Chains A and B, each alone.
Chain A
């Protein structure tokens, strides 16, 4: 099972400059753990760990086949072989 993960410029320091890396996992949470195993440090940039558990960081957008994962289960979103995952930091400010 291979999932292509598109990496934004700001996180390419974790992927040796690669714009896209392969990953594995039946859910987004599992995929992120797999990414962390190959690109240590990347998980902390994607996930916020609090006393209430883990969630995607508020200003990180993740899309599975062009769907914002917030609408399809967040970290529990299911993944299948051949899916494309895109990570994009929010463009936002005050």
Chain B
């Protein structure tokens, strides 16, 4: 199960809506081993595409160095689908390289840049196997 705060959930949705019809992407980092998505980090989609996303290679290195310095890991890796459902594509599955991360997919196909609900779903992707999991949106992450 992915437990995520309402603030972070809203930030991911806002990013996806803003970048529609291109795919939006980013990370929510958290302390190593904590499974707590605490630090929301929007990334630029270097592909600038409605059907593909890729972190810029320089940004990617900076991101991993920063997480390393802070003893963090990518707890959530999110991106949007803008014309299809919020389910990992064959490409998503083939390129997934963080077996410990929650892969969040948001679909903006229904309302685009406008207000309105989105599909927000989360998956584990390990060795090409996709497992959907429940998403629990909480007012704040538990402090314990």
How far, in Å, is A2 (CB) from chain B's closest CB?
A: 20
Evaluate contact between A90 and B98: CB separation under 8 angstroms: no
Evaluate contact between B60 and A88: CB separation under 8 angstroms: yes
- Compute how far the CA of A86 lies from the CA of B62 in the bound complex, rounded to whole angstroms: 11
How far, in Å, is B83 (CB) from chain A's closest CB?
A: 11
State which size class the interface on A falls in.
10 to 19
- Compute how far the CA of A94 lies from the CA of B95 in the bound complex, rounded to whole angstroms: 9
Evaluate contact between B96 and A93: CB separation under 8 angstroms: yes
Question: Which B residues are in CB contact (< 8 Å) with A27?
Answer: none
Known: A94-B89, A94-B91, A94-B92. A89 touches B97 (CB 8 A): yes
The stretch that binds A, out of B46-54, B106-114, B129-137, is B46-54
- Compute how far the CA of A88 lies from the CA of B65 in the bound complex, rounded to whole angstroms: 11
Interface of B, secondary structure class, is mixed
Selected from B61, B74, B79, B89, the residue in CB contact (under 8 A) with A86 is: B61
Can you name the residue of chain A whose Cβ is closest to the Cβ of B25?
Answer: A91
- Compute how far the CA of A66 lies from the CA of B88 in the bound complex, rounded to whole angstroms: 31
B100 lies within 8 A of chain A by Cβ: yes
- Compute how far the CA of A68 lies from the CA of B58 in the bound complex, rounded to whole angstroms: 7
- Compute how far the CA of A63 lies from the CA of B97 in the bound complex, rounded to whole angstroms: 18
Interface string of B51-70 (1 = CB under 8 A from A): 11111011011001000000
A9 lies within 8 A of chain B by Cβ: yes
Question: Which B residues are in CB contact (< 8 Å) with A94?
Answer: 51-53, 89-92
B77 lies within 8 A of chain A by Cβ: yes
Evaluate contact between B77 and A61: CB separation under 8 angstroms: no
Residues of B within 8 A of A (CB): 25, 27, 43, 47, 51-55, 57-58, 60-61, 64, 73-74, 77, 79, 88-92, 95-100
Residues of A within 8 A of B (CB): 8-10, 59, 61, 63, 66, 68, 70, 86, 88-94
Not counting A9-B97, A86-B64, a sample of 13 additional A-B residue pairs whose C-beta atoms are within 8 angstroms of each other reads A9-B99, A61-B61, A63-B57, A88-B60, A88-B61, A89-B95, A90-B55, A91-B97, A92-B47, A93-B88, A93-B89, A93-B95, A94-B92
